[in-house]
Structure 1
Amino acid sequence: MRILVLGFNGYLGRHITEHLRAALPNTSLLTAGRSPTADVRVDLASDHPGRLAEALASAAPDAVVNCAGLTGGDAMAQAEVNARGPAALCAALRQAAPLARLVHLGSAAEYGPGVPGTRMTESAATCPAGPYGATKLAGTAAVTTSGLDAVVLRVGNPVGPGAPLTSLPGRVAAMLRETGPDRRAVLWLGDLSAFRDFVDVRDVARAALLAVMANRPLPSVLNISGGEARPVRELVRKLALEAGFPGLIEEDGEGSARSSQVSWQCSSIAAAVDTLGWRPSHTLDESLAALWAATGPADEAGHARHGAAARRTS
């Protein structure tokens, strides 16, 4: 079996690539992307489908896992990667490897605001609150209407070792590492009242493996999340406790636009349990412990990035 992983050097892509290699030692695993270390050099945001088809044909994959995605930047950049990219990939796969299984990573942001106390199923209406969710939803539409043997894993809020600075857990961990054991320190954050459905990045990797290896057709979309809404405030305080932070955590009320628009996000994982036999195996405490253990020491560059002006986030 030959598996091709796109976006292998991103947060989710790194974990998925490592997990596939460990779980399938006799499988030929190839990486693809813009990185010079990639086995197959492609750029989903700009390559013509014909060029992509040539690259895919040379790899001859039995399965493709698309982890490529952009969480920040302007709306056009996000559209190129999150919407145009999956559409071009599907067009290329139809030409070069029409029988390959495609496992594409979507996002719970595609749903938009949830109703407090409820879990969104895969058939729920989608109303994304910003460019990220909207462009990810367009990518999902390209995959689910492609006619390929494809499944979209709609991932919740990933947390765990290696969380990037673009994520709340990653930023807070870096700030805590920088601040150190100063009892007089105050961590100024935005409004932390939102509820999010956190899922360990290692559980996401396991779900990707199960989706690749499933020997039957899968639903077009599967939620991969913790299945439980937790207060963002709880995550921050648990992470501070894990770090041994003795100072104060203050909220100045100026959270991100998405936090104010999406105060509740929670997904049902019943379909993933039924079709993949998947359920989360790591608790939030375990995820945060692994995140903190993997957080490197602060340095001058980190201090510059996470100064007082940057300490407002949610």
Structure 2
Amino acid sequence: MRVLVTGGAGFIGSRVAEELRLAGHEAVTLDAYLPQAHPGQGPREGVDVVADVRDGDAVERALRGVDAVCHQAAMVGLGSAGFLDAPDYVGCNDLGTAVLLAAMARAGVRDVVMAGSMVVYGEGRYTCPEHGDVRPGPRAEADLAAGVFDPPCPRCGAALVPGLVGEEAPTDPRNVYATTKLAQEHLCASWARAVGGRAVSLRYHNVYGPGMPRDTPYAGVASFFRSALARGEAPRVFEDGRQRRDFVHVADVARANVAALEAVRDRAGGELSAFNTGSGTPHTIAEMARALAEAYGGPAPRTTGEYRLGDVRHITASSRRLVEELSWRPRVGFAEGMAEFARADLRGSVGAGATTG
């Protein structure tokens, strides 16, 4: 199978391309080398097409002879300019996806696997002792400033128990990035219905591993903690550190993409299927920071009470559907992955493009 991987020079896209080749497929990579995602770096050897996914002509050229597309190109993160960077997110993520899908329709390519995100759910699943499953609204800034981080039951105000969210849960994006990721799914679903195509969205959880970008809007919390340790500083843990996430290794995410690409032709045409893609084992941010600091041999994390509006408290999801339908299982355990990540190099510049490890 010949697969076009957009964002193929990125943290996840490059691993997907590598995994495809190991599985005996041909990967064609396209990447724009946006400075936000590749700080201090220019185009490298091994990338087949250096172009923006919004460049329809370039995308059409890249699609020649392609059997399927793995769409990883996106602008990620919560953003650093409030709502002012909304046009950039919408342009990169939604317009880019629309251009890609239109080119696929013209080229007759009918299979796509896209990088989705757990952020489309907003908050995760919560259970009230009296009212069962409930969906709390966005957290109020006054509560966050007062150190009240857990959302209460919206009906009675009781403390809630967090759980695992399934793909059938309603979507509730809480920031610009999340909104664009959900719009990408809607675009893929519309394309699938219009052309009889098959689309899969892998809703990633907190992906980490070697090659993460360093200290950019594209860097996850694990990368920021790892960079702090490299500077000899204690990782700063926001809120009280008890917010729950699912940390999944990039190698497992790459394998999930290959499994989805190999299975997509067996799925029904004209629709999009979504799969949560996580380790299935929640950990708190504080647990992750401690594991990373201990593996690195650096200072212990410092819980600061700081917060960011737009962050959710708990978001962990069940990956049961991915396991059952695509026979995928995560192979890299939490302790093993954090120990590896503590020793790994990160992408990005410290001075003139050097990395530290």
TM range (shorter): 0.7 to 0.9
The correspondence for 1:68, drawn from 61, 73, 78, is 73
Aligned to 1:174: 227
298 and 130 in structure 1: CA distance in 2 versus 1, 3 angstrom threshold: closer
Query: 2: distance between equivalents of 1:140 and 1:39?
Result: 26
Q: CA deviation at 1:33?
A: 2.4
Q: CA deviation at 1:41?
A: 4.0
Query: 2: distance between equivalents of 1:173 and 1:64?
Result: 32
175 and 145 in structure 1: CA distance in 2 versus 1, 3 angstrom threshold: same
Check if 1:223 corresponds to 2:273.
no
Query: 2: distance between equivalents of 1:299 and 1:30?
Result: 27
299 and 29 in structure 1: CA distance in 2 versus 1, 3 angstrom threshold: closer
Q: CA deviation at 1:177?
A: 1.5
Aligned to 2:207: 158
62 and 264 in structure 1: CA distance in 2 versus 1, 3 angstrom threshold: same
The answer to whether the 8 A contact 2:249-2:332 is kept is yes
1:198-277, aligned counterparts within 5 Å?
198-214=247-263, 215-217=265-267, 220-245=273-298, 247-259=299-311, 262-277=312-327
Give the CA RMSD over aligned residues: 2.3
* Matched AA of 2:48: D
Query: 2: distance between equivalents of 1:300 and 1:208?
Result: 31
Check if 1:47 corresponds to 2:97.
no
169 and 97 in structure 1: CA distance in 2 versus 1, 3 angstrom threshold: same
Query: 2: distance between equivalents of 1:173 and 1:4?
Result: 32
Q: Secondary structure at the match of 2:191?
A: coil
Q: Secondary structure at the match of 2:109?
A: coil
Q: Secondary structure at the match of 2:21?
A: helix
Aligned to 2:343: 293
299 and 120 in structure 1: CA distance in 2 versus 1, 3 angstrom threshold: closer
264 and 213 in structure 1: CA distance in 2 versus 1, 3 angstrom threshold: same
The answer to whether the 8 A contact 2:296-2:342 is kept is yes
1:112-123, aligned counterparts within 5 Å?
112-114=122-124, 115=126, 116-123=161-168
The answer to whether the 8 A contact 2:115-2:201 is kept is yes
Q: CA deviation at 1:273?
A: 1.1
What is the percentage of aligned positions where both structures have the same residue?
Answer: 31
Query: 1: distance between equivalents of 2:346 and 2:267?
Result: 42
Deviations 1:199-238 (A, max 9, x none): 1111000001111112511661111111232111100000
Aligned to 1:195: 244
Check if 1:143 corresponds to 2:174.
no
Query: 1: distance between equivalents of 2:260 and 2:284?
Result: 29
163 and 207 in structure 1: CA distance in 2 versus 1, 3 angstrom threshold: same
Query: 2: distance between equivalents of 1:11 and 1:54?
Result: 24
The answer to whether the 8 A contact 2:7-2:72 is kept is yes
47 and 160 in structure 1: CA distance in 2 versus 1, 3 angstrom threshold: same
Deviations 1:87-120 (A, max 9, x none): 2211111111333x21111000111111243221
The answer to whether the 8 A contact 2:247-2:334 is kept is yes
Aligned to 1:109: 119
248 and 119 in structure 1: CA distance in 2 versus 1, 3 angstrom threshold: closer
The answer to whether the 8 A contact 1:2-1:63 is kept is yes
Query: 2: distance between equivalents of 1:133 and 1:123?
Result: 17
The answer to whether the 8 A contact 2:211-2:346 is kept is no
Check if 1:95 corresponds to 2:144.
no
Query: 1: distance between equivalents of 2:324 and 2:226?
Result: 35
Query: 1: distance between equivalents of 2:3 and 2:303?
Result: 45
The answer to whether the 8 A contact 1:162-1:291 is kept is no
Query: 1: distance between equivalents of 2:350 and 2:205?
Result: 33
Aligned to 2:149: none
The correspondence for 1:31, drawn from 26, 29, 32, is 29
Q: CA deviation at 1:42?
A: 3.5
Q: Secondary structure at the match of 2:163?
A: coil
Query: 2: distance between equivalents of 1:299 and 1:124?
Result: 40
Query: 1: distance between equivalents of 2:93 and 2:274?
Result: 16
Q: After alignment, is 228-237 or 116-125 more displaced?
A: 116-125
Structure 2: unaligned runs, 5 residues or longer: 34-42, 80-84, 127-160, 353-357
The answer to whether the 8 A contact 2:68-2:109 is kept is no
Structure 1: unaligned runs, 5 residues or longer: 180-184, 303-314
Q: CA deviation at 1:186?
A: 4.6
Query: 2: distance between equivalents of 1:296 and 1:225?
Result: 21
Q: Which has the higher helix share?
A: 1
Check if 1:10 corresponds to 2:10.
yes
Query: 1: distance between equivalents of 2:286 and 2:335?
Result: 14
